Each structure stands twice: as structure tokens, then as C-alpha cells.
Amino acid sequence: MRLPLLTIVAFCLTGCGASDLCSNTLVEKLLDPSGTRVAYHYIRDCGATTDYATSIAIGALGEDTAQADVVFTADSGHGAAKADGEGIWLRMTWARPGMLLVSHAEKARIFRQEGQARGARISYRASDDPVARPVP
């Protein structure tokens, strides 16, 4: 008996549960100077056939990463970007309350880059210089 392609795809989406294979590792939790929000820098690993994804999420104080809004996601572009352990090179700093500065590997393949979340503005700079900071 041949199964229709749609049945096979539906089975893999539900039965193969890609989300079950993924894990997040928190790299840094950074409290906004106002004390009202938190920026989370974490690495997402979904197995040997995918690159590590580096993400930033912003949430309210007391929320965890699952409740926070993802504002940045990137990977190394198959090794093209400078790595910092398993994820791409990335640094984040609160310049002042509500203003997050993010520096990341210059050749990172970016999937998401939001300019604001949870009442905070986010400024990005692509650079392989660990001292470089984005200009607000």
C-alpha cells in the first residue's frame, strides 16, 4: 500500500517532532538598567544536521525565555561567520534603560533582526571586533 505524500509529510511533522530534538542553552541573561526587562542570549541546537542558531529574546522581569519575544536569530552560514563556542560571536549591552546594543559576527546569516520589542529599541552592528559596539 502506498501512502499519499501529504500523509507522510503530516506524519513527519507530528510524529518526528523536530522541536523535541532541539535544546536551548542560555549563554547570558542581561538585566535592563531600569530593572523592568531582561535580554536573553541563547544557543539553539537541533541536531547534527543543522547549524547552531544564536538568538536573543527580550522579556519582562520574571519571565523566562519561552515567554520572551525573539528579536534576533542567526547562524554561522555554514562556518563563514566567526564563532564563539557553538554559536556565532555576539555581544549585547544595555546602553541605557530601553536601549539594547548588539554586536555580532560580520558574516553571520541573519534570519531575524527586530528593531524593537517590549518597549526597548535594539541597535545592531556586524563586526568581528569584540570591542566594537553599535552606535545607538
Written as tens digits, the pLDDT of the chain (136 aa) is 454 444 433 434 444 444 568 999 999 999 999 999 999 999 999 887 788 999 999 999 988 888 999 999 999 998 899 887 789 999 999 999 999 999 999 999 999 999 999 999 999 999 887 665 555 5
Residue 118: the pLDDT is 96
* pTM of this structure: 0.80
pLDDT at 11: 39
Q: How many CA atoms lie within 13 A of 131 on its CB side?
A: 0
Phi and psi (nearest 5°) for 18?
-55, -35
